Chains A and B, each alone.
Chain A
């Protein structure tokens, strides 16, 4: 059976196509890690702005999805490092925006637990379980070997389960 990569089927050749094909992927990756809507939107905007500025390079990148996720990853990490906090509503609270439900207890527990997982482990967990990347693809985004990525995934799963269990008991 011949497998055709999605990238081979639809490879964006204009900034608009890049948005159409990859914005949801970048948005999910950022949203899973940033609870504040405005911050998440800022990061997605910054990620795509970087792509628009270097569009010639993005257009010729081996994998545009990985390129965008790698930039988004750096920008999320920068945001965490700066401990940027603004008095804005969490993403799930924002009025008139998609889901208007208040965050469930499970969501609050998960976010709190995830915040206790090491940054590199958190990133690979999101890339795998939210973005659906294979271990090899994750390795390409974070520039690690498959073995090293597997190890991060394994440790990430253990850390997250432990954190979830601890917080579940405390709630």
Chain B
């Protein structure tokens, strides 16, 4: 170190104040309080996806027309197993923060879009994600190393199989035992436009949230779910709204991503290894917001 003493002293002479001033620290602490943390792009969105799937699963549990639980479950299982198209739209309003997510899928292609402009399309062998802030499309080719077709099939089969094995009668019995049979209310069938519908309202002495499903009487499939929570003033406010469509009811325009034509495209070829390094791997860091650095 001695031979570098001259450099050490010279450079440290440029730092007359080794600590930030109290005023600077005060500004930083103020900024820490007022700076809103960016939503973790995929954690937030995936949590909404989870809400969606949880809602569907919950829907199965609470669709308990005393007349035919098994029939209802069978229909839902068939819908999942046989339909080649689905569409979920989820809106969330929690603590003044709102967001929405739309997921649509058909024949192996899934499109997801959020209210903040993010757009994702997954199709055979390729995943494309559009970042509205950066106006950039990141296109990941998954290639032969990730058998996405098989994964997609596995997820679908697993979901259907899980539903088939679900002991709905036991679940309902447990639910009723825990909450009381009177906590599930099924309305009479009524008309909404040209549709015959009924409501299933779920309440629990142990949970403050209220969940209501609107169900198509013709199929016993839910098409809308509403969750509301107490706002502290004795009123209930809607916190989650989810709309579900299957088969021919799916909006065809929701199935296409339609990325902006002027967006910058960066390619990551997960299937294209060159000397053990993924082609375009440097773009992964940019995509997830790592501090940029020279290669």
Q: Which residues of A line the B interface, CB within 8 A? A: 15-16, 18-19, 23-24, 27-28, 31-33, 41, 44-45, 48-49, 52-57, 67, 70-71, 74, 91-92, 97-99, 101, 104, 106-107, 110-111, 113-114, 120, 125-126, 129-130, 141-144, 157, 160-161, 164
B17 within 8 A of A: yes
B27 within 8 A of A: yes
User: Does A49 contact B31, Cβ atoms closer than 8 Å?
Assistant: yes
CB distance from A122 to the nearest CB of B (A): 10
Q: Give the chain B neighbours of A91 by CB distance below 8 A.
A: 16-17
B232 within 8 A of A: no
B249 within 8 A of A: no
Which residue of chain A has its CB nearest to the CB of B34? A52
User: Does A23 contact B7, Cβ atoms closer than 8 Å?
Assistant: no
CB distance from A35 to the nearest CB of B (A): 8
User: Does B291 contact A157, Cβ atoms closer than 8 Å?
Assistant: no
Q: Choose from A54, A101, A130 the contact partner of B38 (Cβ within 8 Å).
A: A54
CB distance from A134 to the nearest CB of B (A): 12
CB distance from B46 to the nearest CB of A (A): 14
User: Does A52 contact B31, Cβ atoms closer than 8 Å?
Assistant: yes
Q: Choose from A41, A67, A111, A130 the contact partner of B12 (Cβ within 8 Å).
A: A130
Provided the pairs A27-B19, A157-B4, A157-B7 are in contact, do residues A111 and B294 lie with their beta carbons within 8 angstroms? no
- Besides A54-B38, A129-B7, 11 more A-B contacts (Cβ < 8 Å) are A24-B19, A31-B17, A32-B15, A53-B37, A54-B37, A70-B291, A98-B21, A110-B11, A110-B14, A129-B4, A143-B294
Q: Mark B32-73, 1 if CB is under 8 A from A, else 0.
A: 100111101001000000000000000000000000000000
Q: Choose from A70, A104, A160 the contact partner of B7 (Cβ within 8 Å).
A: A160
Q: Which residues of B line the A interface, CB within 8 A? A: 4, 6-8, 10-21, 24-25, 27-29, 31-32, 35-38, 40, 43, 288-289, 291-295
- In the complex the two chains form, what is the Cα distance from A137 to B256 in whole Å? 46
User: Does B7 contact A54, Cβ atoms closer than 8 Å?
Assistant: no
Q: Is the interface of A mostly helix, strand, loop or mixed?
A: helix
Q: Give the chain A neighbours of B293 by CB distance below 8 A.
A: 70, 74, 141-143
User: Does B32 contact A31, Cβ atoms closer than 8 Å?
Assistant: no
- In the complex the two chains form, what is the Cα distance from A104 to B292 in whole Å? 35
CB distance from B48 to the nearest CB of A (A): 17
User: Does B13 contact A45, Cβ atoms closer than 8 Å?
Assistant: no
CB distance from B91 to the nearest CB of A (A): 23
User: Does B20 contact A27, Cβ atoms closer than 8 Å?
Assistant: yes
User: Does A44 contact B28, Cβ atoms closer than 8 Å?
Assistant: yes
User: Does B13 contact A106, Cβ atoms closer than 8 Å?
Assistant: yes
- In the complex the two chains form, what is the Cα distance from A33 to B295 in whole Å? 22
- In the complex the two chains form, what is the Cα distance from A125 to B288 in whole Å? 29
Which residue of chain A has its CB nearest to the CB of B295? A143
User: Does B17 contact A56, Cβ atoms closer than 8 Å?
Assistant: no
- In the complex the two chains form, what is the Cα distance from A141 to B288 in whole Å? 17
Q: Give the chain A neighbours of B291 by CB distance below 8 A.
A: 67, 70-71, 74
Which residue of chain A has its CB nearest to the CB of B13? A107
Provided the pairs A56-B40, A70-B293, A143-B295 are in contact, do residues A160 and B17 lie with their beta carbons within 8 angstroms? no
Q: Give the chain A neighbours of B29 by CB distance below 8 A.
A: 16, 19
Provided the pairs A71-B291, A99-B16 are in contact, do residues A27 and B24 lie with their beta carbons within 8 angstroms? yes
CB distance from B171 to the nearest CB of A (A): 35
CB distance from B153 to the nearest CB of A (A): 33
Provided the pairs A74-B292, A98-B17 are in contact, do residues A53 and B35 lie with their beta carbons within 8 angstroms? yes
Q: Choose from B8, B11, B25, B32 the contact partner of A15 (Cβ within 8 Å).
A: B32
For this complex, 25 residue pairs linking A to B, each with C-beta atoms less than 8 Å apart, are A15-B35, A19-B29, A24-B18, A24-B20, A27-B17, A27-B18, A31-B15, A48-B28, A52-B37, A53-B36, A53-B37, A54-B37, A54-B289, A56-B40, A57-B40, A104-B13, A110-B10, A110-B11, A125-B11, A129-B4, A130-B11, A130-B14, A130-B15, A142-B294, A157-B7
Provided the pairs A49-B31, A53-B35, A143-B295 are in contact, do residues A160 and B10 lie with their beta carbons within 8 angstroms? yes
- In the complex the two chains form, what is the Cα distance from A80 to B295 in whole Å? 20
Provided the pairs A28-B18, A104-B13 are in contact, do residues A19 and B37 lie with their beta carbons within 8 angstroms? no
User: Does A23 contact B17, Cβ atoms closer than 8 Å?
Assistant: no
Q: Give the chain B neighbours of A97 by CB distance below 8 A.
A: 17, 21
User: Does A44 contact B11, Cβ atoms closer than 8 Å?
Assistant: no
